[in-house]
């Protein structure tokens, strides 16, 4: 057990009140790790609050699948100076959005993350880039604290594990990852319903919008890239919320003609967010960091300061110039 893990376990084992946060626009790993830890800590008698720094504060649709969401509070009612605070899956302080200030004022700040670009935050950094998911680290922490893990907590962690490993297909999947999956499957939650809710819950309006994304697919053979885009006007016209399009990149990436897939989505503020996936020949985290973003070697992203055409041109250039991983 690492020294950080032991210290984090000691702090959480004796804390009466714990404030937990995860990154803005949470994915199931962020929300699942946070709610799973909250359920576990409450089962030991602690009081917890959970939040993420989005305004307006809207939980994604699939969040209803995760137990423990009664701990969720709006970021503005989150403790201003928490004695003990835990963050889940945030690669940088600004990923906490409006809760970054609360984290800066926390007495003890346990920072749980697995992003390679994270070089150590918090008073107790629990950061392991080799971990498949933050859920994996959260489970390690529960084992270090000891006691029974409630089934509801296991479900939350399983949601994070399944999604952050791409249903166990990404390169970060190690024997230990599958052992953890086996361990979590011993609990009596309905994993089929959970995964249906995570992966097979599209609206017809979204599927038609996905048709637009696929229709626009472009190939840039020089840059080993396929890409497409979505604007705010596309979303408004289709009546689709931006969070519904989170998995569209997973369809674009199946194009066999290129190593790198990118989906460029216009944000509410008009800027373009670039999500990239690599099949293995390119380090897209290195590409993203050239534009102020980050992520993992095979999955990374950034927000462009330029318009769509310039964003695409700069991306093509970066991929052409950059040495393959
Ligand atoms: Mn994660």
DSSP annotation string for 273-316 = EEEEEESSSS-HHHHHHHTT-EEETTEEEEEESS-HHHHHHHHH
How far away, in angstroms, is 101 Cα from ligand 1 center? 22
How far away, in angstroms, is 29 Cα from ligand 1 center? 5
Same domain, 44 and 145: yes
Same domain, 101 and 239: no
Q: Which of 165, 183, 199 is the last residue of a domain?
A: 199
- CATH number, domain of 314, equals 3.10.310.30
- CATH number, domain of 52, equals 3.90.1640.10
Q: Write out residues in the chain with pLDDT < 70, as ranges.
A: 322-325
How far away, in angstroms, is 65 Cα from ligand 1 center? 18
* Residue 324 pLDDT: 55
How far away, in angstroms, is 128 Cα from ligand 1 center? 11
Residue 243: DSSP 8-state = G
Same domain, 95 and 230: no
Say whether pTM exceeds 0.75: yes
Provide the residue range defining the domain that includes 301: 204-321
Q: Which of 199, 225, 257 is the last residue of a domain?
A: 199
d(CA 53, CA 323): 36
* Residue 314 pLDDT: 97
* Residue 322 pLDDT: 67
* Residue 213 pLDDT: 98
Same domain, 45 and 115: yes
Same domain, 113 and 147: yes
Map tokens 């999604």 to a residue: 163
d(CA 48, CA 72): 9
> How many domains are there within the chain?
2
* Residue 243 pLDDT: 85
How far away, in angstroms, is 133 Cα from ligand 1 center? 5
How far away, in angstroms, is 237 Cα from ligand 1 center? 31
Query: Both tokens of residue 13?
Result: 């084992």
How far away, in angstroms, is 34 Cα from ligand 1 center? 11
d(CA 103, CA 90): 12
Q: Which of 144, 166, 199 is the last residue of a domain?
A: 199
How far away, in angstroms, is 142 Cα from ligand 1 center? 17
């Amino acid at each position: 057990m690492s020294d950080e893990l032991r210290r984090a376990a000691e702090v959480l084992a004796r804390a009466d009140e714990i404030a937990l946060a995860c990154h803005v626009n949470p994915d199931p790993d962020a929300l699942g790790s946070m709610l799973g830890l909250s359920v576990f800590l409450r089962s030991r008698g602690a009081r917890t609050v959970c939040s993420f720094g989005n305004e307006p504060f809207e939980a994604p649709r699939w969040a209803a699948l995760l137990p423990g969401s009664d701990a969720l509070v709006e970021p503005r009612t989150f403790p201003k100076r928490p004695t003990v605070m835990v963050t889940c899956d945030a690669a940088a302080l600004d990923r906490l959005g409006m809760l970054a200030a609360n984290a800066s004022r926390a007495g003890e700040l346990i920072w749980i993350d697995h992003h390679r670009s994270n070089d150590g935050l918090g008073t107790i950094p629990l950061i392991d880039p080799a971990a498949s998911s933050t859920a994996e680290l959260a489970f390690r922490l529960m084992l270090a604290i000891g006691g029974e893990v409630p089934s509801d907590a296991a479900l939350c962690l399983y949601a994070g594990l399944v999604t952050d490993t791409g249903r166990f297909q990404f390169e970060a999947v190690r024997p230990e990852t599958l052992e953890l999956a086996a361990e979590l499957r011993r609990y009596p939650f309905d994993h089929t319903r959970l995964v249906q809710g995570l992966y097979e819950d599209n609206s017809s309006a979204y599927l038609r919008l996905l048709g637009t994304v696929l229709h626009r697919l472009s190939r840039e053979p020089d840059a080993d890239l396929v890409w497409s885009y979505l604007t705010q006007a596309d979303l408004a016209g289709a009546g689709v919320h931006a969070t519904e399009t989170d998995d569209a990149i997973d369809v674009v990436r199946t194009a066999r003609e290129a190593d790198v897939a990118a989906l460029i989505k216009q944000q509410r503020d008009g800027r373009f967010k670039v999500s990239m996936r690599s099949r293995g020949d390119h380090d897209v985290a290195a590409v993203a960091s050239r534009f102020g973003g980050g992520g993992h070697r095979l999955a990374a992203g950034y927000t462009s300061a330029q318009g769509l055409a310039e964003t695409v041109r700069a991306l093509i250039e970066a991929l052409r110039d950059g040495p393959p991983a």
